[in-house]
Structure formats: C-alpha cells, structure tokens
Structure 1
C-alpha cells in the first residue's frame, strides 16, 4: 500500500474525499483487527493508513476554512 500525497488528494471532490475517508478508516479498522489476532503481515500498513486519514482530514479542513 502506497501512501497518498496531499497534492493528489486535493484533486478529488469533497464527496469523493468523504468516501475515501470512510474506506480508509474501514481499512485501518481491519488492519487493527488483524494486528489483534496476530495475522498482520505488514505492520507499517497501519502507519500509512493513519497518515492517509490525517491527510484527507487536513484537505477537508482546508476547504471548510478556505485556505
């Protein structure tokens, strides 16, 4: 799983960002579940997903504040 750049995320519409946020949060939940069951193959996926969620939320916040 490759991390997304903020510049790439800014190209999406607000609706697409909300969908992307929901799917990324769901993926993070699944990775945490796998981690709890000791089935996670690549622990760095959790870190990548958390950072992607932060980037998406940052872009959404920028649009709300209109920076």
Structure 2
C-alpha cells in the first residue's frame, strides 16, 4: 500500500487496516514457527505498511494539535 492511498483514507479505516495487517503478521509468524512454508517477504511488506499507517496518523495528529 502506498502512502498516497493511505492519505486518502479516513482515520478509522486506517486503524482497521492496521489492525488487520498486524493480525496477518501474527498469523504468518505463527505459521513460520510451526514449520509451514511462509512468504517471508509478505511479513516485511506488512511491517512497512503498518509503519506507513502509523506515520500518517501521527502526522495528522501533530497537524491538528499545532
């Protein structure tokens, strides 16, 4: 997910997407720990997507508070 897509989304939707991504990361990590084959690149992409979402939410909060 690109930052421009995230910026065009409401805060509530971003929070839901972040929750879903974190849940998917957890599931992938558990599958990897059990020994199933997992696309490890997917974990990296999810982690970076969550970071982008958090960054944009923090930017919005700082912009409102200033």
Please indicate, yes or no, whether the TM-score normalized by the shorter chain is above 0.5. Answer: yes
Instruction: Say if 2:28 and 2:38, in contact at 8 Å, map to a contact too.
Output: no
Structure 2 unaligned residues grouped into runs of 5+:
none
Task: Specify which structure has the higher proportion of helix.
Answer: 2
The question of 1:13 aligning with 2:6 is answered no
Match of 2:47 in 1: 50
Q: TM-score, normalised by structure 2?
A: 0.89
- Higher radius of gyration, 1 or 2: 2
Structure 1 unaligned residues grouped into runs of 5+:
none
Quote how far apart the aligned CAs of 1:27 are.
0.6
Structure ranking higher on relative contact order (CA contacts 8 Å, 6+ apart): 1
Structure 1 outlier segments of 4+, above 4 Å = none
CA-atom RMSD, angstroms?
1.3
Q: TM-score, normalised by structure 1?
A: 0.88
Aligned positions, number: 64
